[in-house]
Chain A
Amino acid sequence: MATKLIAAPLPGIFYRRPAPDQPPFKNEGDSVTIGEPVGLIEVMKTFTQVLAEEAGKIARFLVENEAAVMAGEPLYELEV
């Protein structure tokens, strides 16, 4: 099984939950299919969903919830 680093598509603040009182989009160990949301990135008060562009299993997140992320920075590890 190969592991890939998936990069953040946008710079901003990364959120793992759709809202503070809701469960995370994905936990480590969950599988994702193409087009599924894995998080949100807030750019200048605008929220954009981060969608999986490849199917697999999320091994781990490399950016903490509510932490800053730069475009191109590794966001999560995907096992394919």
Chain B
Amino acid sequence: MRKLFIANRGEIAVRIIRAARELGIATVQAVSAADREMLAAQLADEVVEVGPAHASKSYLDQAALLRAALASRADAVHPGYGFLAENACFAAAVESADLVFVGPRPDTIRQFGNKARARELAAAAGVPTVPGTSGQGLGTSELLAQAEEIGFPVMVKAAAGGGGRGIRVAASLNALKRLLGEARAEAKAAFGDDAVYLERFLPRARHVEVQVLGDGERVIHLFERECSLQRRRQKIWEEAPALCLTDRQRTALCASAVQLAASVGYRGAGTLEYLFDEETGEFFFIEMNTRIQVEHPLTEMVTGRDLVRDMLDIAAGIPVPLTQDAIVLRGHAIECRINAEDPARGFLPAPGRVSELSVPGGPGVRFDSLLYPGYTVPPFYDSLLGKLIVWDETRAKALARLRRALGELRVGGIATTIPAHRMLVDHPEIAGHAVHTGWLEAWLAEDPFGTKAEAARA
């Protein structure tokens, strides 16, 4: 691999450029017309404009990206996360053009992209799934019949979905009858496929996920992360390892992930997501993300591996030492997502010019971001500005370090989620780690920023 084309933007593009540069690989950064000034464009060796601001005409335009990659004489394409990262057609088109796709084989992406199919693969590999419907493309009567066996409340999910989009919870058979039509229409509009499936809703579960790395033959795990703090099914705060697990549960969970990934001969970096029921100690596979994830630095902090470098090496066919014994879990890491959103105004998006930036430093602190002073955050894309990640020997020490680092971090000119993280780091239930996937929204409903009280007074 001599020259890598980056078909993405923002902080992950910066992360990929850094890994490529350390390996001596030249980089070509794709940009939309709105992204010429972004940090990744400044860091890359070359920049190619692929289309206008709207992502469907730039970062999602497969033909435009492929043309640009070929014209730049790149020999590989990294899709990052989001956009086309889990698009099997794009991966196949890249390979057909004799370029290396830095990710799994197109067929693997396709199989796990269909969430109902992913459940079947998990079941076949002996990995427990959330009780739910079996079979693909079920009709309404079959779904309703199976719902009774699964037990209410149930979640309605799009088979072609992911990322928490379009999920509905039905408390009863009547509610389900009503929601199915809506869910199908939305799935059709969002993903071009109206197939849906059902899963039992586990309201107080924790979200745990296992990082795996494969070379197409061997698969190893790099332990797990916990991402229970979510708002609208978007992760806000993540940790590694998941301290809710006992050593025995951790071993079983990670072994199941390796079993499933190995059953498809997984190639590259991937994450298997699970729900963990603390009361029963059961874990259930929900889906696999066939790409690098936003929160991958947590795993890098607790294992010392560079996952993006590993991805590039695997894609280039360079032997990566994939021996499980070499992966040692050390200490605890916490990540806070810094978004351009105003917590005091219901997390309203807040694009705009960054007038000031002060980044924390010192031991065990990492800040992966797309920011620089004077940068104007465009309104067209995701609100993720960066990730503040801290590591220390224990969770208590990591929390103290995070509190210190959040105190040093200053982003001026735009509203960010930093104030929300400063409150969370001091919350006794966060310190006690007594959280579940519904915890953050319940906390927000208590109006911690005094927004609703203020509105009522006005």
Contact = CB atoms under 8 A, between A and B. Distances in A.
Interface string A39-77: 000111110000000000000000000111000000000
Interface stretch (B51-59, B115-123, B171-179, B295-303): B51-59
A20 B189 contact: yes
A12 B54 contact: no
A66 B56 contact: yes
Nearest to A19: B189
A66 B189 contact: no
B380 A13 contact: yes
Nearest to B383: A44
Interface in B341-400: 341, 348-349, 351, 379-383
Q: Which of B52, B340, B379 has the most CB of A within 10 A?
A: B379
A46 B348 CA distance: 8
A67 B351 contact: no
Contacts of B34: 68
B182 to A, nearest CB: 13
A46 B349 contact: yes
B349 A66 contact: no
A68 B54 contact: yes
A67 B379 CA distance: 12
A53 B380 CA distance: 24
A9 B24 CA distance: 46
A13 B53 contact: yes
Given A44-B383, A45-B382, A68-B53, A21 B189 contact: yes
A11 B379 contact: yes
Nearest to B339: A44
Given A13-B54, A44-B351, A46-B349, A68 B380 contact: yes
A68 B54 CA distance: 7
B269 to A, nearest CB: 24
B27 to A, nearest CB: 26
A52 B56 CA distance: 28
Contacts of B380: 12-13, 42, 44, 68
A42 B53 CA distance: 12
Contacts of B54: 13, 66-68
A32 interface: no
A5 interface: no
A17 to B, nearest CB: 12
A6 interface: no
Interface string B21-56: 000000000000110000000000000000011101
Interface in A1-41: 10-13, 19-21
Contacts of A43: 349, 351, 379
Contacts of A68: 33-34, 52-54, 380
A44 B340 CA distance: 9
A41 B382 CA distance: 14
A45 B82 CA distance: 13
Contacts of B53: 13, 67-68
A51 B266 CA distance: 49
Interface in B312-341: 340-341
Given A11-B351, A19-B189, A21-B189, A67 B52 contact: yes
Contacts of B189: 19-21
A43 B34 CA distance: 14
A62 to B, nearest CB: 16
Contacts of A11: 351, 379
A71 B52 CA distance: 18
Contacts of A44: 340-341, 349, 351, 379-383
A38 to B, nearest CB: 19
Contacts of B56: 66
Q: Which of A11, A20, A44 has the most CB of B within 10 A?
A: A44
Which 8 pairs across A and B sit closest by C-beta, in order of nearness? A44-B349, A68-B53, A11-B379, A44-B383, A12-B379, A43-B349, A43-B379, A46-B349
Given A12-B379, A43-B351, A44-B381, 11 more contacts: A11-B351, A11-B379, A19-B189, A44-B340, A44-B383, A45-B349, A45-B382, A45-B383, A68-B34, A68-B53, A68-B380
Interface of B: 33-34, 52-54, 56-57, 189, 340-341, 348-349, 351, 379-383
7 contacts: A12-B380, A21-B189, A42-B380, A44-B340, A44-B379, A44-B383, A66-B54
Interface of A: 10-13, 19-21, 42-46, 66-68
